[in-house]
Structure 1
């Protein structure tokens, strides 16, 4: 796995990981599934205070890089904040827009990361 594959997709990208080990969501015991669902909802609520759009993703086998059930909660991009470079061939397709966003990911420095975590925790 490359380092770029494990970087957050965008600011606020969070993971919810159950303590019980299951490689497939279809094997997750119902009491853990219920608890994880509650946590996903709480984290999603905390992340949507400034931007209501988000994706919640849990892969099973297909596109699953880590064989342990986990949920990605990914805030949607704020498209007007920093649009990708203009294209001379007209509007960007959704695929190209997502690719451009993927390419401009960067790491948070420690101070920004701490401030982000404090902000999310304040909304939990």
Structure 2
């Protein structure tokens, strides 16, 4: 299946890709589209999306993934940001608000602007990590 043939007529981002909703388009490839976020966390906050409609990353065919990070890199460079976050959420409890895969490129010019992240780490035992490693490795 081509990376741009799957669309959802009700999807906000599919409408942006199709030109039915205007955007501040930064760049476009055969399979990806980048535009400024209209509710930015910092100056230059942008979104990079596949043209293929899928709600979650694992639902995208591999060919739809090809240009996403390449385009995110170019957008980051164009923003002039020295520090930035690339963020991609999957599902409501993971804070995904639009059901279309998208990567945020969020410049972090200082401690106050941009993405604020808390990283509550856990301390699994070596045995727990070994078990998880074996479970995941077997599926790859």
- 1:59 maps onto 2:89 in alignment: yes
- 1:41 maps onto 2:73 in alignment: yes
Give distance in 2, aligned partners of 1:53 and 1:41.
Answer: 12
Greater relative contact order structure (CA < 8 Å, 6+ sep): 1
The runs of 4+ residues in structure 1 deviating greater than 2 Å are none
1:72 is paired with a residue whose SS is strand
- Count residues with an aligned counterpart: 76
TM-score, length-scaled by structure 1: 0.54
**Would you tell me which structure has more strand in proportion to its own residues?**
2
State the structure with more CA Rg.
2
**Would you tell me which structure has more helix in proportion to its own residues?**
1
Structure 1 residues not aligned, in runs of 5+: 1-5, 85-97, 99-124
Judge conservation of contact 2:53–2:101 (CA < 8 Å) in 1: yes
Partner of 2:14: none
Q: Deviations over 1:69-113 (max 9, x none)?
A: 01110000235xxx79xxxxxxxxxxxxx4xxxxxxxxxxxxxxx
- 1:25 maps onto 2:57 in alignment: yes
TM-score, length-scaled by structure 2: 0.49
User: Post-superposition shift, 1:19?
Assistant: 0.9
- 1:72 maps onto 2:116 in alignment: no
Judge conservation of contact 2:82–2:109 (CA < 8 Å) in 1: no
Partner of 2:46: 14
